[in-house]
Structure 1
């Protein structure tokens, strides 16, 4: 999974970067409000008179996607990376008046965790009273990426995240019993350690005789969006060109699973849930293994991006350690002490929230 995809309408002239708040806003406008092709949580709640508030210390684009219809719904959406793009403006200004400005971003992002928790406890709950609130912590993800899994900075971030979550639990326990709150806590992925030298996929494809750039077409054979995993968009989705690239990839020492729509000499995109019109012509995962990093954490992989340092963390592939995540729920709607053996993930949160609130689950929800 990568954070970029090719959509010539949403992002003419370049790949569409879902981490960029401005690109998401413009892309949604160009697509007539259909960047996401089905109603999502904020819209489904609003249809039944319920409200969603979101606060994120993650990427600006990720913050927007948690509540991307906030403008039209009049909902609260706050991004620590982009207070200027947060909504509604009057509410945002009032919150910052009470809490102060967002602290300077650092790694580990300890102050951002505290600011996020303060915003939830001291403003969002008492002032906005949302029916659902999503509170997105940027740690331990930031320190995993840039300081390494199990590093002292990473452990400090984990400790701080636990402290801030503990503040929320202490507040919850202090409330009146008739004010029931359901809490779901989860991580969206695990991570691997970037091992060895960074490969240069662009250079390799160019040496194989292909032109690489953005977007594919008009003299550009392929567009790349690959870190430890991702995709290749091929000019005109040319079958012969796809076959050539698949064959070339499978002869590289760093190449892991390769997936295409047809599954010709590869796995099929549908096997990984990627069979979508915006999916790349070729999806690939770089090799990973069970090596142990300098801090004793298992799981390593190759990488195609210099953005993440060797020894840092990365995710997006198919190794068990990056697919495993944390999910727990508490409240009177959930069985106490129960552990489910069923496979589950972030995709299951939306229908769970809807069921708890007695909102009908649409047929498009898996």
Structure 2
């Protein structure tokens, strides 16, 4: 019987909770966090991998929605690309034990159901390929084929796919019904994960704070109410955690990767692979480079008008150290830098760019280090949690897997770097006396060009809040 239900609403901003009456009710009757954050980069698949492994993108190796690995461009939204990545990594997709595997080792089961990309669903429970629980991608329309693992689950569901005309968000309707009618009674998970991808799709095409987004929020809220009510009819003591993978922001401009590539010194053009990731950019080395060559590449990127905070190891003025995001130059996959495309221009106006490679321009997106992209909601509701409590403490994706372990009465694997959110629950009442310490890291390219990263430290953890670059 379900003990914990984790719901991830793709692209849900913390400020949007007030537009969702049911989620607002859950928050008011449970615990909500004012300072919850995404992992960085603030992208879907890095968040999914961190929710699975309880480790940051620099450890999971899923640093973007698109990666460069051993000469291959990997789209982490595609299961076939993830299978290739698994083979490149010695037959293990993530290098750390996942929550699903940890549960299986203790006789428990995790099932993930997703209406985002099928690759995202697989990342939530990579062990499903080996029979640890299940991963079900309820997105059978368009270019995505229906996906489910293990094979026995795929065969069982192959004949029950919804039709494209079944009202608004038919995948979400099918997924929530599937959870109640099939997943709970037949697969009997102890931990259930639902990933809703609909809002993200709508906001990419229409931006935020518009009628299309508001309609999507209302429909998702209605579906969540129906799902959680039905789950608790079967399992009244289910604890519910609702969060998002990232925030969202409207694009002010786009940056074509071809223009970025033209900035690289000609002698190094064939040594670098730039991988666009919406509001961010990953920079990879195709071959071994000297320190002076890497610095030349970073300096060229920093000099661009559209460039925001740059995270990398090096001595280039204005570049921020990886600061726990990853150790860039020692990364096995050759990752040199993460470039955020958010900055304030010389008039003080915020600018948020999205990287593209000759493709569609989106009205809205994420992936930058802006506060709008990094801040997410986090709501905990159920018998294990306090009621009517708003926590001022920081939290992020890494804290959710160890918290679920504690809820299940299981030890927390040492590979999970998050903390148990004990201040939210009845597990350790009164354990919220410590206050976070605010810290800043400043990198100057000149007196009129300053990049600042904001962190909070609590209970041995460093939380990355945001970073911005100001030109004056």
Q: Same fold by TM-score, threshold 0.5 exceeded?
A: yes
Alignment of 1:136-147 (within 5 A): 136-147=195-206
For residue 213 of structure 2, what is the aligned residue in structure 1? 154
For residue 361 of structure 2, what is the aligned residue in structure 1? 309
Q: 1:360 aligns with which of 401, 411, 415?
A: 411
For residue 295 of structure 1, what is the aligned residue in structure 2? none
Aligned-residue offset at 1:165: 0.5
**d(CA) in 1 for partners of 2:315, 2:402:** 32
**d(CA) in 2 for partners of 1:71, 1:284:** 33
1:127 equivalent to 2:224? Answer: no
TM-score under structure 1 length normalisation = 0.85
Aligned-residue offset at 1:48: 0.2
SS of 1:237's partner is coil
Quick check: 2:261–2:274 contact (8 Å CA) kept in 1?
Answer: no
TM-score under structure 2 length normalisation = 0.67
SS of 1:140's partner is helix
1:222 equivalent to 2:222? Answer: no
Aligned-residue offset at 1:143: 0.6
For residue 191 of structure 1, what is the aligned residue in structure 2? 248
Cα deviation 1:255-279 (Å, max 9, x = unaligned): 1111212354243443251226146
Quick check: 1:80–1:102 contact (8 Å CA) kept in 2?
Answer: no
SS of 2:107's partner is coil
For residue 161 of structure 2, what is the aligned residue in structure 1? 101
For residue 259 of structure 1, what is the aligned residue in structure 2? 311
**d(CA) in 1 for partners of 2:161, 2:368:** 37
Aligned-residue offset at 1:119: 1.1
**d(CA) in 1 for partners of 2:122, 2:382:** 28
SS of 1:344's partner is strand
Flag the structure with more relative contact order, 1 or 2, with Cα contacts below 8 A and sequence separation at least 6. 2
**For the structure 1 residues 208 and 133, does the alpha-carbon distance in structure 2 shift closer, same or farther, using more than 3 Å as the test?**
closer
Q: Which runs of 5+ in 1 are unaligned?
A: 213-218, 291-297
SS of 2:250's partner is strand
Quick check: 2:309–2:343 contact (8 Å CA) kept in 1?
Answer: no
Quick check: 1:261–1:270 contact (8 Å CA) kept in 2?
Answer: yes
**d(CA) in 2 for partners of 1:36, 1:73:** 16
**d(CA) in 2 for partners of 1:335, 1:211:** 60
1:281 equivalent to 2:341? Answer: no
Q: CA RMSD in A?
A: 2.7
**d(CA) in 2 for partners of 1:265, 1:299:** 22
**d(CA) in 1 for partners of 2:411, 2:246:** 28
**d(CA) in 2 for partners of 1:347, 1:57:** 22
**d(CA) in 1 for partners of 2:350, 2:199:** 17
Quick check: 2:279–2:366 contact (8 Å CA) kept in 1?
Answer: yes
**Greater Cα offset, 281-290 or 354-363:** 281-290
Quick check: 2:309–2:340 contact (8 Å CA) kept in 1?
Answer: yes
Cα deviation 1:187-235 (Å, max 9, x = unaligned): 1110111113x222323433654379xxxxxx82210113321211134
For residue 21 of structure 1, what is the aligned residue in structure 2? 79
1:64 equivalent to 2:126? Answer: no
For residue 166 of structure 1, what is the aligned residue in structure 2? 225
Quick check: 1:195–1:300 contact (8 Å CA) kept in 2?
Answer: yes
Quick check: 1:145–1:313 contact (8 Å CA) kept in 2?
Answer: yes
Q: Which runs of 5+ in 2 are unaligned?
A: 1-40, 42-63, 418-472
**d(CA) in 1 for partners of 2:323, 2:123:** 25
**For the structure 1 residues 80 and 105, does the alpha-carbon distance in structure 2 shift closer, same or farther, using more than 3 Å as the test?**
farther
**For the structure 1 residues 319 and 272, does the alpha-carbon distance in structure 2 shift closer, same or farther, using more than 3 Å as the test?**
farther
Aligned-residue offset at 1:281: 0.8
> 1 or 2, which has the higher strand percentage?
2
SS of 1:183's partner is strand
Q: 1:337 aligns with which of 381, 384, 388?
A: 388
Aligned-residue offset at 1:169: 2.8
Cα deviation 1:270-318 (Å, max 9, x = unaligned): 325122614621221113459xxxxxxx9751122154535x2111111
**For the structure 1 residues 109 and 242, does the alpha-carbon distance in structure 2 shift closer, same or farther, using more than 3 Å as the test?**
farther
**d(CA) in 2 for partners of 1:201, 1:166:** 42
Quick check: 2:295–2:315 contact (8 Å CA) kept in 1?
Answer: no
**d(CA) in 2 for partners of 1:299, 1:156:** 27
Aligned residues: 342
**d(CA) in 2 for partners of 1:133, 1:284:** 34
Quick check: 1:53–1:134 contact (8 Å CA) kept in 2?
Answer: yes
**For the structure 1 residues 255 and 362, does the alpha-carbon distance in structure 2 shift closer, same or farther, using more than 3 Å as the test?**
same
SS of 2:361's partner is coil
